[in-house]
């Protein structure tokens, strides 16, 4: 790809170049015969279309001062800058929303019914608002690109979100919780959708997108472990009186979010270039939904992704019940979660390497199929504390490692799927694709949880009972062992049929760039 303004082949420099090609060839397109002078640059970009190239003056990031190629390898400082907001974003993702609901039930005047109603509304609100944020982000046209204005607004909105959510007054009721959660989830959507969509523009390379997605996943995991461990770290130092998630501790989390998220976002906005932005004709919300939902590879992706979500919903709903009631590991669940998260962090570099070698979807498929094989292993452990703690911890670590591709591969694949949509329609809609995934995927976890509890009801298992019959216990265990395994098997086989691999993605990018060059150099 040319590294600067491209000139017609009739210029002296072009005549000296052995690769100049036939008369009128300019880069990958053809110059118009009606262009004024041979020395006038024939530019391949406008304010609305930015093709990947080196030394882009339209990148608006500190790294634009140096050589930046959206098709080349990304340096670690840029990856760290892009992922910097993820550290504080961990306070806005699981398990912290669940901790907030428990905190409000215990330390405020909000009622349990009110909390349930507010959280249900927020889920619906989140699902409704996400596609519009994705659409608006795609349609935003500014000198700072389509994502940075939204990220700046989301970071500013996160300040009142943290203050309201983590520092409620003692007499806070259901109305206060409603306002706090609406602001909280609106801020999260305004940050997460543009941030995830941005990676498709920072790099157009198949493998580098995996590194970007993995970088933000790593900071989310590290932030989650750090903040969950913070009470246990501060109590021995005498900085807090208790390790409970009480008012002082939640207020500390709130102040950390108020300071850390804007700082992390400022680093990303200042250091990371806009990247390659392509625009076509204007389109309506109806056009958006029609073009996105008629993308067949995207349909396959959504189906496999949704089945995996249902599988994990069943697993999470039953696993902790089995660990506590059957294996007798209830007092070690916190340590198990810490080991599981540490295993995910440790295996992430290997997953990035394998995604580059095998292909992103193949890594995800193999990990999903391997997860299906680990499910029945739960049946091998004896009940009542007789199971080896080492073996249980090892199994949880392995299962967590196999779930790691689910945490970063989908966002990278959505970027490739958006390129396929751009090739088909001429319109870049990465934000819309990610928003639709964020709308559909959370429902899979709810469906999985419901299936798990329906299955327990069908076999007569009561988690709160002091003792259950042998048949009920075995029914719960077999549900945990087999239902997620079957769902994972089906989804893994579907992912093996996913059509966009590295070679096909490179062909898509070449055709998109060639078409855009021809479009803006046509007479």
pLDDT for 48 equals 37
Q: Taking the domain 74-274, which CATH number applies?
A: 1.20.1250.20
Write down the pLDDT at residue 267.
95
Mean pLDDT of 298-327: 91
pLDDT digits (tens, 9 = 90+) for 378-393: 889 998 888 898 999 9
Confidence tier at 229 by pLDDT (50, 70, 90)? confident
Give the pLDDT of residue 278. 67
Q: 396, 375 in Cβ contact below 8 A?
A: no
Q: How confident is the model at residue 232 (pLDDT cuts 50, 70, 90)?
A: confident
- Beta carbons within 10 angstroms of residue 420's beta carbon: 20
Chain centroid, CA 18 distance in Å: 45
Look at 357 and 335; give whichever has higher pLDDT: 357
CA distance 436 to 64: 32
Which single residue is written with the structure tokens 């390790």?
A: 243
Q: Is residue 122 over pLDDT 80?
A: yes
User: Widest CA span of the chain, in angstroms?
Assistant: 89
Q: How far apart are CA 405 and CA 143, in angstroms?
A: 35
Average pLDDT over residues 385-410: 92
* pLDDT tens track for 26-84: 333 333 333 333 333 333 333 333 433 333 334 455 444 344 567 778 899 999 999 99
Query: Which DSSP helix (H) or strand (E) runs through 73?
Result: none
Predicted confidence at residue 516, as pLDDT, reads 76
For the chain, how far is it from start to end, CA to CA, in angstroms? Answer: 22
CA-closest candidate to residue 254, choices 180, 174, 175: 180
Fold match between domain 74-274 and domain 288-513: yes
Q: Is pLDDT of 126 > 50?
A: yes
Which of 190-204, 268-282, 413-427 has the highest mean predicted lDDT (pLDDT)? 190-204
Cα 504 to chain centroid, rounded = 23
pLDDT at 4 over 50: no
All structural domains of the chain with their residue ranges? 74-274, 288-513
Spatial CA neighbour of 315 closest among 268, 371, 359: 371
pLDDT of res. 283: 64
Sequence-ordered list of residues with C-beta below 8 angstroms from that of 356, at least 6 positions apart, any chain: 207, 210
Distances in Å between the Cα of 109 and the Cα atoms of 92, 177, 317 are 22, 10, 28
Q: Give percent helix, percent strand, percent coil of the chain, each to the nearest 5.
A: 70, 0, 30
- Cα separation, 51 vs 192, in Å, equals 24
Q: Give the E-state strand segments of 334-446 in sequence order.
A: none
Q: What is the per-residue pLDDT for 279?
A: 61
For the ranges 32-36, 237-241, 245-249, 328-332, the lowest mean pLDDT is seen at: 32-36
- Note whether 309 and 445 are within 8 A (CB): yes
* Confidence (pLDDT) at 346: 94
- The candidate with the shortest Cα–Cα distance to 107, out of 10, 177, 185, is 177
Across 40-44, 90-94, 241-245, the highest mean pLDDT is recorded for: 90-94
Q: Does domain 288-513 have CATH number 1.20.1250.20?
A: yes
Confirm if 24 and 248 have CB atoms less than 8 A apart. Answer: no
Locate the DSSP E strands across 31-74: none
pLDDT for 410 equals 95
**Three-class SS state of 466:** coil
Judge whether 407 and 344 are in contact, CB under 8 Å: yes
Q: In the structure, what pLDDT confidence band is assigned to residue 210 with cuts at 50, 70 and 90?
A: very high
Query: How buried is 333 (Cβ within 10 angstroms: 0-12 exposed, 13-18 middle, 19+ buried)?
Result: middle
CA-to-CA distance for 308 and 519, rounded, in angstroms? 41
Q: Is 380 exposed, middle or buried (0-12, 13-18, 19+ CB in 10 A)?
A: exposed
Rg (CA), the chain: 25
Tokens coding 292: 């996105």
Q: Residue 270: count other Cβ atoms within 10 Å of its Cβ.
A: 13
| Residue 35 burial (C-beta neighbours within 10 Å; 0-12, 13-18, 19+) | middle
Enclosing H/E stretch for 291: helix 285-293
Residue 489 has pLDDT above 70, yes or no: yes
- Residues 205 and 71: beta-carbon distance below 8 Å: yes
Residue 25, pLDDT above cutoff 70:
no
Mean pLDDT within 97-117: 86
Taking each helix axis as running N to C, give the angle between helix 174-202 and helix 430-459, from 0 to 180 degrees, rounded to the nearest 10. 130
pLDDT band at 355 (very low <50, low <70, confident <90, very high): very high
Residues 195 and 93: their CA atoms lie apart, in Å, by: 15
25: β partners: 30
Closest-CA residue to 194 (of 223, 161, 216, 211): 216
Predicted confidence at residue 70, as pLDDT, reads 75
Classified as helix, coil or strand, 333 is helix
For residue 142, the model assigns a pLDDT of: 85
Give the strand pairing for 29-30 and 25-26.
antiparallel
CA distance 88 to 102: 20
């Amino acid at each position: 790809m040319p590294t600067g303004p491209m000139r017609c082949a009739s210029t002296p420099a072009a005549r000296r170049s052995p690769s100049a090609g036939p008369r009128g060839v300019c880069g990958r397109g053809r110059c118009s015969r009606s262009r004024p002078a041979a020395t006038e640059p024939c530019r391949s970009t406008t304010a609305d279309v930015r093709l990947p190239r080196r030394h882009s003056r339209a990148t608006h990031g500190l790294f634009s001062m140096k050589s930046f190629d959206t098709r080349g390898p990304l340096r670690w400082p840029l990856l760290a800058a892009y992922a910097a907001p993820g550290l504080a974003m961990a306070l806005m993702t699981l398990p912290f929303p669940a901790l907030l609901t428990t905190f409000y039930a215990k330390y405020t005047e909000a009622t349990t019914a009110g909390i349930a109603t507010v959280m249900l509304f927020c889920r619906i609100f989140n699902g409704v608002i996400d596609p519009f944020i994705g659409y608006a982000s795609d349609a935003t046209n500014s000198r700072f690109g389509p994502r940075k204005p939204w990220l700046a607004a989301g970071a500013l909105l996160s300040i009142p979100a943290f203050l309201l959510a983590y520092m409620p007054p003692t007499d806070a009721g259901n109305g206060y919780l409603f306002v706090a959660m609406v602001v909280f989830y609106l801020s999260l959507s305004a940050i997460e959708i543009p941030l995830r969509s941005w990676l498709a523009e920072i790099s157009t390379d198949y493998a580098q997108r995996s590194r970007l997605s993995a970088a933000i996943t790593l900071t989310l995991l590290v932030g989650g472990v750090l903040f969950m461990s913070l009470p246990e770290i501060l109590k021995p130092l005498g900085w807090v009186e208790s390790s409970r998630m009480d008012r002082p501790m939640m207020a500390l989390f709130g102040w950390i979010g108020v300071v850390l998220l804007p700082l992390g976002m400022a680093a990303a906005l200042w250091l990371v270039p806009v990247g390659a932005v392509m625009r076509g004709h204007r389109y309506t919300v109806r056009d958006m939904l029609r073009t996105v939902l008629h993308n067949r590879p995207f349909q396959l992706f959504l189906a496999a992704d949704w089945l995996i979500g249902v599988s994990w919903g069943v697993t999470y709903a039953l696993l902790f019940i089995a660990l506590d009631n059957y294996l007798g590991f209830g007092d070690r669940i916190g340590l198990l979660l810490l080991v599981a998260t540490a295993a995910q962090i440790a295996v992430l570099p290997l997953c990035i390497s394998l995604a580059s070698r095998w292909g992103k979807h193949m890594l995800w498929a193999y990990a999903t199929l391997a997860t299906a094989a680990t499910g029945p292993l739960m049946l091998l452990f004896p009940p009542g504390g007789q199971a080896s703690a080492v073996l249980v911890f090892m199994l949880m670590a392995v299962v967590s490692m196999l779930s790691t591709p689910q945490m970063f591969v989908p966002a990278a694949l959505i970027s490739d799927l958006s390129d396929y949509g751009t090739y088909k329609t001429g319109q870049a809609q990465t934000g819309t694709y990610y928003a639709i995934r964020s709308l559909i995927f959370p429902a899979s976890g709810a469906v999985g949880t419901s299936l798990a509890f329906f299955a327990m009801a069908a076999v007569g298992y009561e988690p709160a009972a002091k003792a259950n019959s042998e048949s009920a216990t075995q029914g719960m265990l077999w549900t945990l062992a087999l239902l997620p395994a079957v769902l994972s098997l089906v989804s893994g086989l579907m992912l093996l049929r996913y059509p966009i691999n590295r070679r096909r993605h490179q062909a898509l990018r070449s055709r998109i760039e060639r078409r855009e060059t021809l479009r803006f150099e046509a007479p």
